[in-house]
Every structure is written in C-alpha cells, then in structure tokens.
Amino acid sequence: MTTTQKQPDFSERASTLPEQNLWRSVVTQAVRDAFSNEQYHRWSAWAWFYGDTSDYRWTCQLAGIAADRLRQAMIETVFLNYLIQKGGF
C-alpha cells in the first residue's frame, strides 16, 4: 500500500518568512524616509522609488510587494497631501 504524501504549500507561509519580513522592513523604511523632514533621506528615498532600478524592483519582489503599485501609491499620496495642504480637496 502506497501513501501519497502531500507536498507542502510554501505560498501559505510566504508572508511569515523572516527574509520577506526583512525586505518589507527595508521598503517600510524607504516610505518613512520619503516623508522625512531630513532632506537627504527624503531625496534619496524618492530617487529610489522613481529610479525604477533593478535594486528597487528586486527589493519589492523579495518583500512580496508589486513595485509599480507601490510607486503609484506613493505618487497618489504625495498628490493628495498637496491638494489637502492647498485646500483644494
């Protein structure tokens, strides 16, 4: 009698992998830096988001985040903040 062993589904575990959490922390820090009061950190973060480098895409992939969607969300957030500050929203 042969028993078929079920293969583990690692996709269920993907969100809890320590490596993925590490890369999500890297992206989270970049988002914080993008809205920092320190100009150098802000400029560096926005250059990273807008640069569309392989480093940016690779980091997002390892974090399990869609690079294009993250960039678009950042742009929309800045635009909404601008409208709110100008009283146009």
pLDDT digits (tens, 9 = 90+) for 40-81: 999 999 999 988 899 999 999 999 999 999 999 999 988 887
| Model pLDDT, residue 5 | 54
pLDDT category of residue 88 using cuts at 50, 70 and 90:
low
Q: What is the dihedral of CA 51, 55, 60, 66, to 10 degrees?
A: 50
DSSP secondary structure letters along 29-67: HHHHHHT-SSHHHHHHHHHHHHH--HHHHHHHHHHT--H
| Model pLDDT, residue 52 | 84
Fill in the amino acid letter for 88: G
